[in-house]
Chain A
C-alpha cells in the first residue's frame, strides 16, 4: 500500500472526524446507495416483498381468480395429513442424504488422485468437470431417460454380459436411484473446489510427517482431512441447499408427474403441481415456507455440527 493510501486509512480511523471528512463520508453514503440502487430495488421487489407476500398467502386459500381468503393455519394442518406430501419429503430426503455424500465422496477421491501433480491434469479435470455444466439441462435429463429405460443403454450393455436389467426408471424401486446417479455424475464442480483446497495445504506438514515416518493413510487422516475440512464443510452446505431444490431432472425423467407411483415425486415437483398445476397458491406458499424451514434447519445443524469436525488453521 502506498503512503497516500495508508495516510487516508489512518485519518479515517483516528480521532474525531473533521467537517470535511464528515462531508466526504456523507458523499460516500449517497454514492453507495446509488450504486446499490438496482440491488436494493431487486431485494425489495423481487426477494423480500414476495417472501412476505408468500408468508401471508400461506395462511390463505388463493387460486389466482378470487381474492385470497384468510384460512389461518388450515394449509399447515392440511400438510400434516397429506400423504403425498409426506412421501415427497421422503423422496427428497433420500435424494439429499444419499446423493450429496456420495457425490462429495467421489469428488474428494478423484481430487486426491488428481492432486499428486499428475500428468495431463488439465485434461482429466476438463473431462470430469464437463458433466457438472451439462447435468442441469433438459437435454441430459432426456439422455438419462433413455439410458435407464427398459431398452436403454445400461440394459443394452448388461445384455451383452447376459443380464436382463429392469426398466430402471419405470420401476419404483430404482427410479430415484437413477436420478441420484445423475447427481453423482455432476461431481466436477465440488471436485474443482477440493483441488484448489488441496493446493493450499502447506507441503511442510507432509514433509514433517514423512520425517516422523507417517504412512500415506496417516497423512490423509491427520493432515489432508483436517486441513480440507473447511472446504468439505462449504461444499456440504452448498450441495445440501442446492439438492433440496432440484427439480428439472425429476420433472423430465418422470414426464412431469413424479412417477412411477410417486417414487420420484420431489418436494419441489409436488409444490409445482400444487401451485402451477392446480393453482392452489396458498398451499404452495405454505409448502415453500416449509421447504425454507427445512433447508434452514439443515444448514443450522450443519453449522453447529461443524464445531466438532471442521478444523480452522488460524
Chain B
C-alpha cells in the first residue's frame, strides 16, 4: 500500500500546490512556536480521525479476504483478522461451484470489457475531435444533446433496446453490451475527451494543416498521440464500469454459457443459500482482483479524470 504514496502524479500535484503558493500548506507553516505546537496536536488529531475512518471503511474488505482463507464456519463467529492457517479449499471449491469453472466467466467478462474499451476509445475520441476542433452546423445543439445524454437514466431506453436487440437475435450474445460503446453512447467519455482536447494548443493543428494535413491526419497524428492521458482515463473507467456492470448483463445474458462475472456471482448467491459463504467470498475476491489491480496501477488517471471533469 505504501507504494501508492510514491505515485508521481499523486504527489506532483501536491508539490505544485505548494510551489505556486496556492496550497494550504503555506497557511500552516506560518505563526509562532506556540502556534506550531497546537498545529502539531491538530495534525495528530486529524491523523487519528483519518486512520479510524479509513480503518472502519477498509476493515470489511480485509475481513472478507481473511475469511475467504478460513474454514467456512468461522465466518459466522470470528470477526478478527488473525489467520491460523491458510485454507485454500474455498478457492478451489468456489472455482468449480457453477456450471463452468469461474475462469470461463472471467473470460466472458474480459471479452466484453475489451470490446467496450475499444469501442469507447474509437467512437468517443472521434466525436470529441469533432466537438472540440471542428466548426459545423448544429454544433451547439448536438453538444447540448450530448451533455444531456450523460444524465439520461438507462431505464428509459432499456425496454425498446431490449426489444430491438432481441429482434436481431442478439440476446445471449455480447453484442448488446459492446455495440452501444462502438456508437459512443457513453457520452461521459466524449465530454472528458472534449475537455482534454480543448487544452491542446491549436497551433499544432494549424501547423499540420499548413503542411497540408487533412482532419483524419491531424486527428490521428497530432491530437490522438497528445490525448493519451485522456485515453488512459477512459480505458480505466470503462474497464471498471464494464467489469462491474450487472444490470446490462442481467438483462441480456440469461444463458449460463454467456454469463459475465457479476451475473455468475449472482447465480452463485442464489444457488448456495448461506451454506458456503467461504467459497462465495473467495470468488467475490477473485472478481474484485482485476479492479483492484487497475486501481493500484491506474489511480492517478482515475483521480485526474474525476477531478477535471468534476470541476470544469
Write the residues of chain A forming the contact surface with B, with a CB cutoff of 8 angstroms. 1-2, 4-5, 8, 25, 28-29, 31-33, 35-39, 41-43, 45-47, 49-51, 53-54, 57, 64, 110, 113-131, 133-134, 136-140, 142-143, 145-147, 149, 151-153, 156-157, 160, 185, 189, 192-193, 195-200, 202-203, 206-207, 231, 234-235, 241, 244-245, 247-248, 251-252, 255-256, 268, 271-272, 275-276, 281, 284-285, 287-289, 291-292, 295, 299
Contacts and interface: CB of A to CB of B under 8 A. Distances in A.
Contacts of A200: 22, 311
Cβ-closest 9 pairs across A and B: A42-B183, A117-B25, A193-B310, A32-B136, A139-B284, A196-B307, A50-B160, A53-B160, A35-B130
A138 B122 contact: no
Contacts of B7: 122
Most B C-beta atoms less than 10 A away, residue of A1, A38, A119, A289: A38
B210 interface: yes
B145 A234 contact: no
A25 B156 contact: no
A203 B24 contact: yes
A139 B269 CA distance: 10
B107 interface: no
A126 B299 contact: yes
Contacts, number: 324
Interface stretch (B57-65, B95-103, B226-234): B57-65
A43 B23 contact: no
B260 to A, nearest CB: 10
Contacts of A252: 246, 266, 269
A124 B203 contact: no
Interface in B258-296: 261-263, 265-266, 269-270, 274, 277, 280-281, 284-285, 287-288, 291-292, 295
Nearest to A249: B246
B24 A51 contact: no
Contacts of A134: 61, 288, 291-292
B276 to A, nearest CB: 12
A1 B202 contact: yes
A200 to B, nearest CB: 7
A199 B157 contact: no
Contacts of B306: 189, 192-193, 196
A114 B155 CA distance: 37
17 contacts: A1-B203, A4-B203, A28-B135, A28-B215, A39-B123, A42-B184, A47-B185, A50-B159, A54-B157, A64-B163, A122-B10, A124-B50, A124-B54, A139-B287, A160-B79, A285-B160, A299-B151
Contacts of B265: 138-139, 142
B11 A137 contact: no
Contacts of A281: 159, 163
Contacts of B192: none
B60 A153 contact: yes
Interface string B77-112: 111000000000000000000000000000000000
Contacts of B33: none
B269 to A, nearest CB: 6
Contact of B57 (A185, A255, A289): A185
A50 B127 CA distance: 21
Given A139-B288, A203-B27, A292-B153, A32 B134 contact: yes
